[in-house]
Chain A
Amino acid sequence: MLGSIEKPVEDKSNRLGMTRVGGRMIADYWDDLFTARERGKKIVWYNGGALNPMFQAAGLAWCHGEAFAARLAAQRLEGPAQLAGAEYGYNAELCSYSRTHLGCSVLTLQGTEGDQTGVVGVHDQEVLAAKLPAPDFFVNNYAGCSTGQQWDGISYRVFGKELPIFNISHPFLWGNKPDSGYLRGEEWETASRFVADQLRELIGFLENQTGRPFDYDALSESMTYIKRAGELRREGLDLCKAKPAPATFWDWIASVAPINFLPGNQALVDYFADVRDEIQGRIDNGVSAVKDEKYRLYFDGIMNWNKLGYLSRKFAEHGVAVLAGRYIQNAFWQEPHLIDTSDPILGMAQHYLLCPTNHGAKTLEYLTLRDCEEYGLDGLVFHSTRTCRAFTGPQRLLARSAQDKLGIPSIFFEGDVADASFYKDGILESRLVAMLEAIDVRRERGSLPDGFSAFA
């Protein structure tokens, strides 16, 4: 049956109940955004690092471009936007986040022709299941990937060069200097100050757009909640080192949206406290995230949003707990200790620089191998994310390092962030099975390095 995707036989995954609560919070957030203009809010479209606390403090409504593209893909509603993008001229090999979002821009413009409702493709609302309001202005905050910066530059053009745009530039943390390393060295310090200075400029820009003085206390308050949420998230992540694992990478993927763009408030803190508590409860009661956990793996790449549920079941079916990944452990307010809540600008700038595509390969190697060791992993799965060159660039190097330095194997499978047509199930299935067999053989021979022996 060419091209068909077979459903995994038995669902051995045991997803956290809290993620359903997260799903409702996210749905509420979008509903709120869709009606923001009616409530007199100005709307900013932004890409890249989580600037939402800034926008929250400025009294704006915010739409994160990647998040909207991911949401459409997760709901399998990306089709109309991608079609509009293709008709406009975007090549199918272009970053699918950007072309989905640019397709939304095209639909927005078509939808507002003749009326000023400011609603995405009025005639397509039902299909899109989204009523994305047009922006009042753009802010770009993309680190690491050059496409991220160019994408907003093009959105600005698609909207006829009429809306204000503010751009934050992030030096790539390449590691020219001998003292360069993760969170250290002259390059890190200089880049942090450079981005922090730009955030201060952004505040001036936001004041101009809103006509109001910026509320620094509100920023501190929101960052206090976000810092606490980040700490709780880290605690929860650390609990997942337990064997068998109480929660997996897929649970944390379901919690990306809350940490990445929901408002900094008590509800956010409560959510991550409840996630952590649920995980702790599972440990206390001997409940595992994957029935009969046999293997523990790393997942590298941005999520294949159309396949979240499917992949979580698929890996579980093979007794695999996927536990760590660049997109989880090394993203999204992952170093909360950097945030000084009384003056959060520098810590925010540093998190924007810590985007997982903004590091040289040496730092990525350090982070990946560290997580493989800490979570006791047996192998790595690389999501060769077809239209995201930023994530895929260093993947082969990381696979080599894991093999050479930790003696653990890797597989690659092709898929994409928001374009399901690139996903090849047969390839993932056969490579995964082969890798798991190889892990079995090595366990039998007892040749795995320390810390990687079979526990099942």
Chain B
Amino acid sequence: MTDASSEAMERLVGVARDPRAYVGRWRAEHPGGAVLAILPMNFPRELAHAAGALPVIVQDDQQPITEGRALLAEFYCGYTRNLADQVATGRFDLYDAVFTADHCIQLIGATEIARTLKPDTTVFLGMLNSSMNDSWAPAKVTETMAEIRAEIERFTGNPVGPDALRQSIEACNRDRRLIRQLLDTRSAGEAALSPVELQDIIVSSMVMDPVEHHALLLEALAGLHGTERDDRVRVHLSGHLCHAPRRELLEVIEDSGAIVVDDDLYHGRRYLSTDVAEDGDPIAALAGWYARRNVTIPCPTRVQQDADWDVYLLDAVRHSGAEAVIHLVPKFCEPHMLYYPELRKALDAADVPQLQLETEHEGMPLESFRTRIEALVERALRRRPVHV
């Protein structure tokens, strides 16, 4: 890497690890601009960007949960408990409003905490129809996208015209495409960026203005040289909805004889999987994006009879040549717990070695994970053809 590119990379890493500092800088450069807390996983950031706001996908800030304990039961997923804690301790005051479009009951629970503790703040739920095969779903989703636009216009005081929205769509597409290329080249054998670096790139794209992010990422990649994968066991990481797996865990995976070649994590391919159509009515294009996203990589929070996460996973494994799959299941994540047996069944039938790791917000048993990953690596190695 050149000095300029490593400096750009450092800035991306800085944003990923400290979104608060970036928001502070953005506010200074955009006096009066609104910073919106966006909750995962399907909210169209484009609509907020087109209104001149900064749409920040709220990250699990990995702080221990203190006051949030008194607000949300301990058997809620780590992400939602962390959100409640951010609200209770004032760390959420960073944002001017909250916008969400998803209906995971645990996310709704955390969003209620924000609404109740911050009664003067706009906390908007524009619920996207989650049953994707309903014949009325396309019209309903388009209607909801228009409602979200109206609410953003009302909140920011800025109209979101079709041209501005198209520009935001193009900007987000450009950034998504660039990051997707990195994931594609990784599946094809490129190993220049570690899973932690890729995660930092993706997190920073969820926080930053997409135009700025794209420019900075181009700079960061300018000095990057191709690196071939070594001989470690190729694994696909699957799952981990809504929030990023801990960096330590990604490091343990790659320290235990495995190398990540692909994923369907939210902080991975899932977030970037699909572009929004750049022609036609942009609201209809966002509705179409929402529908296609769940076909590109099916999500267990949606119900769709003709889109199968298990089928997707097997295809992805074949495509990347992954030798094993590690399921990363955030503890108490109900949609994932419901779908997991279907994934397990499909991989078993295809004879793909797999391992389920239940991740916790606090107190993750990394050493026991290491032992289990090493056992998975052993199993996968025994399947490699023996050359004499």
Residues of A within 8 A of B (CB): 88-91, 93-95, 98, 140, 144-147, 149-154, 156-157, 161, 165, 167, 169, 171-172, 174, 176, 194, 197-198, 201, 357, 360-361, 384, 386-387, 389-390, 392-397
Contact = CB atoms under 8 A, between A and B. Distances in A.
Interface string B336-350: 011111101100000
Interface in B122-179: 124-127, 129-131, 133-137, 140, 151
B300 A150 contact: yes
Given A140-B131, A150-B335, A392-B73, 8 more contacts: A94-B338, A146-B334, A154-B338, A169-B130, A174-B127, A389-B73, A389-B106, A393-B72
Contact of B337 (A94, A198, A395): A94
Contacts of B192: none
B306 to A, nearest CB: 9
Contact of A149 (B116, B136, B303): B303
Contacts, number: 129
Contacts of A386: 75
B116 A389 contact: no
B126 to A, nearest CB: 8
Interface stretch (B107-115, B260-268, B369-377): B107-115
Interface string B303-323: 111001000000000000000
B186 interface: no
Interface of B: 70-73, 75-76, 103-106, 108-109, 112-113, 115-116, 124-127, 129-131, 133-137, 140, 151, 300-301, 303-305, 308, 329, 331-332, 334-335, 337-342, 344-345, 358
A91 B239 CA distance: 15
Given A95-B334, A169-B140, A395 B115 contact: no
Most buried by A among B72, B104, B131, B335: B131
Contacts of B300: 150
Contact of A157 (B71, B103, B342): B342
B106 A153 contact: no
Contacts of B358: 91
Given A91-B337, A94-B334, A150-B335, A172 B125 contact: yes
B193 to A, nearest CB: 33
B64 to A, nearest CB: 19
B358 to A, nearest CB: 8
B131 A149 contact: yes
A169 B108 contact: no
A113 B207 CA distance: 52
Contacts of B341: 88-90
Given A90-B337, A93-B337, A167-B134, A150 B301 contact: yes
A154 B108 contact: no
A172 B103 contact: yes
Nearest to A197: B136
A395 B127 contact: no
Contact of B338 (A98, A172, A361): A98
Nearest to A171: B127
Contacts of A396: 70-73
B134 A153 contact: no
A92 B301 CA distance: 19
Given A88-B341, A147-B334, A172-B125, A156 B305 contact: yes
Contacts of A395: 73
Contacts of A397: 71, 112-113, 116
Contact of A393 (B106, B126, B331): B106
B130 A146 contact: yes
B125 A389 contact: no
A201 B300 CA distance: 25
A393 B112 contact: yes
B130 A149 contact: yes
Given A147-B334, A169-B140, A389-B334, A361 B112 contact: yes
Nearest to B144: A171
A40 to B, nearest CB: 28
Contacts of B151: 176
A147 B103 contact: no
A389 B105 contact: yes
Contacts of B108: 172, 174, 393
Given A361-B116, A392-B73, A150 B135 contact: no
Contacts of A152: 303
B216 to A, nearest CB: 35
Closest 9 CB pairs of A and B: A393-B109, A89-B341, A153-B303, A167-B131, A174-B125, A94-B337, A91-B337, A361-B112, A146-B105
Contacts of B113: 397
Nearest to B106: A389
A269 B337 CA distance: 41
16 contacts: A88-B341, A91-B340, A140-B303, A147-B105, A150-B301, A153-B304, A154-B338, A167-B131, A174-B125, A198-B134, A361-B116, A392-B75, A392-B76, A396-B71, A397-B113, A397-B116
A77 B337 CA distance: 23
Nearest to B147: A176
Q: Which of B126, B130, B135 has the most CB of A within 10 A?
A: B130
A93 B332 contact: yes
Name, among A152, A384, A396, the residue most crowded by chain B CB atoms within 10 Å (CB to CB): A396
Contacts of B332: 93, 389
Contacts of B134: 167, 169, 198
A167 to B, nearest CB: 4
Contacts of A157: 308, 342
Contact of B103 (A93, A146, A387): A146
Contacts of A390: 105
Contacts of B125: 172, 174, 176
B339 A394 contact: no
A153 B303 CA distance: 6
B305 A153 contact: yes
Contacts of B103: 146, 172
Contacts of B112: 360-361, 393-394, 397
B303 A167 contact: yes
Contacts of B301: 146, 150
The listed residue with most A CB atoms (<10 A of its CB), out of B105, B131, B137, B340, is B105
A88 B73 CA distance: 27
B70 A201 contact: no
B127 A172 contact: yes
B154 to A, nearest CB: 11
Nearest to B70: A396
B105 A144 contact: yes
B75 A387 contact: yes
A236 to B, nearest CB: 31
B90 to A, nearest CB: 18
A161 B345 CA distance: 14
A171 B95 CA distance: 26
Nearest to A164: B305
A136 B332 CA distance: 32
